[in-house]
Structure 1
Amino acid sequence: MRWDRFFEDVEDQLASEWEAERAALETEAERLRLSRLSLHERLAALSGGGAETIAVGVDAGADAVITAPIVGLGADWLLLSPWGSRAGAALVPLAAIVSVSLPHADLLRSARPDAASASTVARRATFGFAVRDVVRRRAGVSVHTRDGRTLSGTIDRAGADHLDLALHDAGAPRRASDIVGYRLVPFSSIAWIAVDGAPARPV
């Protein structure tokens, strides 16, 4: 009887050690998977127009926290819809993001992104591409810089790493008589761009 118990104890111990080793391997594999996960992939898991789309709080620095759903995501930027439509959108370079706040369940969901959550076309569309789309639409903008300043007007051109901004009153159409100046604005100085008469301050 003692030998039977001995073998049972050995089997239990081996099973326990095997389970512990398997759990350790799974933990290490999970750590490795997470170490390869990018911010872009996590934001892609939170974007779109489906039932699971949620509002996130994007801190773009200079006391600007924009709380809104992510409605678009490019190679190095995201598009938020804090005013309920694409006509009132906020274009944010990923490099300007200080942090993103969201509920814990969605934080965990973003750590398991769907491989199909971002299209290959969207992944190739750079911030410059998105700004050139705003130029094409001739939309009025408020360019919020990382140091807390706001420049209102219309973007006339977008280069590889900067934009040309014709300054005029927010919400007014671009008329030569209303232009009060011009600015070259490097993309690296931009915290976010409010498009099409969106409010001057984030909500």
Structure 2
Amino acid sequence: MAYSRGVRWDRFFEDLEDQVASEWEAERAALDTEAERLRLSKVGLRARLEALAATSVSIEFVDGTVVSAEVSGVGADWVALAPQGARSAAIVAPLAGVVSIAMPHADVLRSARPPVAARSPLADRLTFGYLLRDLVRRRTAVAIQLAHGRLLTGTVDRAGVDHLDIALHEPGSPRRTSEVTGHRLVPFAAVAWVRIDGGVDLL
């Protein structure tokens, strides 16, 4: 930086201050960027889905099904959806069954900054298995879409820590011995999503 003899010292100090300020702004921007990266590294999919509560999204599942729905609830490892145009039906999917979630960019940004709130310890206990055991208690008829593409309809008889038992029968039929056509044990890992009819309150 060169100055003629006539340049006033105050101009010199102004330039120096501008240079220091510019370097400080660049350093602060770098720190902010790194802090943002660190914050995002701690945000899980569940937290982002919670931030999308009552938001319309389009979700693709591992079986290739794409559902346009509103996020109606989030458990420890599952999401509940209210499909568009289906008044009394709900879809529940383990988070492992979700392939992608489409939404407007504004919602993407909003979900990346979920509100900081104390999470109830009970919420961490609301696992996919817990939800299925509640369906067992209610004797609710379901349709279970498997990851490889097959659809099973019937009633969940039992739910263990990592699998369920389903008694197969036609949709809309009660679970009577005469109506049951077979039984299946299904690992949770094989489930893409579960459709529940009848307006069951999941949370």
TM-score norm. by structure 1 comes to: 0.89
* 1:20 is aligned to 2:26: yes
Deviation at 1:116, TM superposition (A): 2.7
**Contact map agreement 1:44 1:117 (CA 8 A) in 2:** no
Q: Which residue of 2 aligns with 1:34?
A: 40
Q: Which residue of 2 aligns with 1:134?
A: 135
Q: Which residue of 2 aligns with 1:173?
A: 174
**What is the alpha-carbon distance in structure 1 between the residues aligned to residue 22 and residue 182 of structure 2?**
74
- For residues 136-169 of structure 1, give each alpha carbon's deviation from its aligned partner in whole angstroms, at most 9, with x where no partner exists: 1111111100001000111111111111111111
Residue pairs, 1:27-106, within 5 angstroms? 27-47=33-53, 53-82=54-83, 84-85=86-87, 87-106=88-107
- For residues 101-131 of structure 1, give each alpha carbon's deviation from its aligned partner in whole angstroms, at most 9, with x where no partner exists: 1111000000110123854322321100011
Q: Which residue of 2 aligns with 1:11?
A: 17
Question: What amino acid does structure 2 have at the position aligned with 1:183?
Answer: R
* 1:150 is aligned to 2:151: yes
- For residues 22-44 of structure 1, give each alpha carbon's deviation from its aligned partner in whole angstroms, at most 9, with x where no partner exists: 11111111111011111111111
Q: CA RMSD in A?
A: 1.7
TM-score norm. by structure 2 comes to: 0.89
- SS of 1:177's partner is coil
Q: Which residue of 1 aligns with 2:124?
A: 123
Percent identity, aligned pairs only, is 56
Deviation at 1:187, TM superposition (A): 0.6
**What is the alpha-carbon distance in structure 2 between the residues aligned to residue 160 and residue 113 of structure 1?**
30
Deviation at 1:84, TM superposition (A): 4.6
- SS of 2:173's partner is coil
* 1:2 is aligned to 2:8: yes
- SS of 1:160's partner is coil
Deviation at 1:12, TM superposition (A): 0.8
Question: What amino acid does structure 2 have at the position aligned with 1:123?
Answer: D
User: Structure 2 unaligned runs (5+)?
Assistant: 1-6
Deviation at 1:194, TM superposition (A): 0.5
**What is the alpha-carbon distance in structure 2 between the residues aligned to residue 117 and residue 58 of structure 1?**
27
- SS of 1:178's partner is coil
- SS of 1:81's partner is strand
Deviation at 1:135, TM superposition (A): 1.0
Deviation at 1:171, TM superposition (A): 1.8
User: Structure 1 unaligned runs (5+)?
Assistant: 48-52, 199-203
Question: What amino acid does structure 2 have at the position aligned with 1:166?
Answer: A
Which one has the bigger helix percentage?
1
**What is the alpha-carbon distance in structure 2 between the residues aligned to residue 141 and residue 45 of structure 1?**
27
Query: How many residues matched?
Result: 192
